[in-house]
Structure 1
Amino acid sequence: MNRLLPLLTAACLLAAGAARAQYVTNLTLMKNQFLTGEPVVAQVTVINRSGADVVLGGHGGRDWLQFEITESSGRRLAPVTIGSDQAITIKAGAANKQTVEISGGYSTADLGTFNMVANVLHPITGQYYSSNKVRMTITDSKSYLFDQPFGVPDGFPNAGRARRYNIILFRELNTLLLYSRVTDEKSGAYLATLLLGPVIMVSQPQISIDAKNKLHVFFLAQPHIYCHAIVNPDGKVFKRSYYRDDDGNRPALLMAGGVGQVVGGVYFDPSAPPPEKKKMRKASERPPGL
């Protein structure tokens, strides 16, 4: 299901629109290359030039956002429309940025190059105003580091169905990326493809399935920084945590009794501010006699 991610901070956008335009809109993608079945994450920025406050979405409101996707040959795909149960108010003259994940209704199932445009509804006039055009490429990789079958446990949709976990190593320009994928064993359909993050292959990733059929992936994400990602049988990331190699105390994934845990290293929060450096003490601050 297409879903609207939380509202991000308002932003200013320098762009020129038509003289009578109600909006100035801008579309950007979090990246421009995707694997087959991977959700497309887009950012849509709207500047309200209508001269009055605008309310988009809300319970029972019209879908306010439409993505128009065109193949390189010119053939248009079925448009993707997105709404929001929560009303979004854009003040007159203000800018608003939304992050949207496109999945389900539109799946990156076809390989090739595509153009995308975002159309934003002006509810008062009923007109849509278009953004700039962005290009994206859909590709695939079967460079599997891991390929193991499992059964969907109770508590998840389609319990008892046979599926497979895949871990994919994919090179994008000068960066190696690690993806997880869940595939239906019977049909071979890709049910979920998700980016776990960049990987440094000087250390081989550790990959295991626990007693609850969750997939554990432990890999070197940055120099001295390791990522432990746990993937649910439905293909969604259950948890992602990081650990630092502290003075040679290298962390590792330990599977014991059907449970996966990280031993060694130091827990690392990438969102935490860096620790303050110790300030050099002035000579005048030295204790007497030193």
Structure 2
Amino acid sequence: MNRLFLLLILCLCCGQARAQYVTNLTLIKDHFLTGEPVVAVVSITNRSGADVIVGGHGSRDWLQFEITQNTGQNLAPITIGSAEPITMKAGGTLKQTVELSGGYSTANLGTFSMVANVLHPLSGQFFQSNKVRLTITDSKPNMFDQPFGVPEGYANAGRQRRYQVILFRELNELQLYCRLTDDRSGSYIATFLLGPAMMVVQPQIAIDVHNKLHVLFLAQPHIYCHVVVNPDGKVHQRSYYRDPEGNRPEMIMTSTGAKVVGGEPFDPGAPPVRKKGLRKASERPKDMESVPKKK
């Protein structure tokens, strides 16, 4: 009888533990280039029945990612904390977007599975999310590959690096990537997406007098994207241009850098211009009202 009661208590405790969080993990995409950051979105619904506080100065890391290769090999877990405390309200849902960068998650080629573990501080337990899959591939710099020296004002000034631009087919879409490599060791410093590209117009790619990389490419029909990349591998500027009839944007190099001529500036975040509808009869011009009707 005592054993049966003890077993019932253990089952109830396990049920309560599993019910602390409902956690869902998604990735913004499932195919990545080597060294590209993996962006994960973790949604956590607090089912513990009480508010839960995670993070804060000196607190334990509360979010953990486990990555397993299809061969069964486990990579080193990635743990993340937060300097400021985060309150998960009872019954509420917290959504966190996390960028796993540094190449530790995409340094190897192959297919991987990933889960997120979320800490419940009161019990000290981590609760696991669903499993997602991701594939890591690589591609040679098939669009652009040129060395440059890191100018003064940046870390590792004087060191030689390479800008590489890669056209990569992801499912049914062409994507344009930029990669920064160390010319001596060949190691990847940064790999990041420039955007979807339409190859009906060849991209213009050049390094300016300040050793910044400029890429102008057709992102959507009649919409061009101009991206400027700093020698440290960070995007300095991203701007868009519309291609009116017979006035295609083009990039020209100048003594101070580069500029885009032609086309017209375009804001992809602006609301679409509403087309004017048909006039109502009550809105017809006054001079039309004076025209006598035909008998």
TM over 0.5: yes
1:60-209 residue pairs with structure 2 within 5 A? 60-104=58-102, 106-209=104-207
Which structure carries more helix by proportion?
2
Q: For this pair of structures, how many residues does the alignment match?
A: 274
Amino acid at match of 1:144: N
The answer to whether the 8 Å contact 1:80/1:105 transfers is no
The answer to whether the 8 Å contact 2:113/2:133 transfers is yes
Counterpart in the other structure of 2:263: 265
Secondary structure class of the residue paired with 2:130: strand
Counterpart in the other structure of 1:13: none
Counterpart in the other structure of 1:274: 272
2:283 alignment partner, one of 266, 275, 285: 285
For the residues of structure 1 that align with 2:123 and 2:103, how far apart are their CA atoms?
A: 27
For the residues of structure 2 that align with 1:57 and 1:152, how far apart are their CA atoms?
A: 38
CA displacement 1:220-278 (0-9 Å, x = unmatched): 00000000011111212111111111232211112111411111111111111111221
Determine what percentage of the aligned residue pairs are the same residue: 69
Counterpart in the other structure of 2:55: 57
For the residues of structure 1 that align with 2:57 and 2:259, how far apart are their CA atoms?
A: 42
Residue 173 to residue 101, structure 1, CA distance change in 2 (3 Å): same
Amino acid at match of 1:245: D
Secondary structure class of the residue paired with 2:282: helix
- Alignment RMSD (CA, Å): 1.5
For the residues of structure 2 that align with 1:123 and 1:240, how far apart are their CA atoms?
A: 42
User: Displacement of 1:288 after TM fit?
Assistant: 2.6
For the residues of structure 1 that align with 2:95 and 2:246, how far apart are their CA atoms?
A: 43
Secondary structure class of the residue paired with 2:157: coil
The answer to whether the 8 Å contact 1:70/1:77 transfers is yes
For the residues of structure 2 that align with 1:276 and 1:61, how far apart are their CA atoms?
A: 51
Amino acid at match of 2:31: Q
Counterpart in the other structure of 1:10: none
Counterpart in the other structure of 1:217: 215
In the superposition, the TM-score normalised over structure 2's length comes to 0.90
In the superposition, the TM-score normalised over structure 1's length comes to 0.91
For the residues of structure 2 that align with 1:85 and 1:212, how far apart are their CA atoms?
A: 37
Residue 246 to residue 47, structure 1, CA distance change in 2 (3 Å): same
Stretch of structure 1 that moved more, 99-108 or 29-38 = 99-108
For the residues of structure 1 that align with 2:114 and 2:129, how far apart are their CA atoms?
A: 9
Counterpart in the other structure of 2:250: 252
Counterpart in the other structure of 1:35: 33
User: Displacement of 1:143 after TM fit?
Assistant: 4.3
CA displacement 1:171-218 (0-9 Å, x = unmatched): 111111100000110111111100101000011101111121110000
For the residues of structure 1 that align with 2:198 and 2:232, how far apart are their CA atoms?
A: 27
For the residues of structure 2 that align with 1:143 and 1:189, how far apart are their CA atoms?
A: 14
For the residues of structure 2 that align with 1:51 and 1:33, how far apart are their CA atoms?
A: 38
Amino acid at match of 1:246: P
Residue 206 to residue 88, structure 1, CA distance change in 2 (3 Å): same
The answer to whether the 8 Å contact 1:152/1:233 transfers is yes
Residue 105 to residue 253, structure 1, CA distance change in 2 (3 Å): closer
Secondary structure class of the residue paired with 1:289: helix
Q: Deviating runs (4+, > 6 A) in structure 1?
A: none
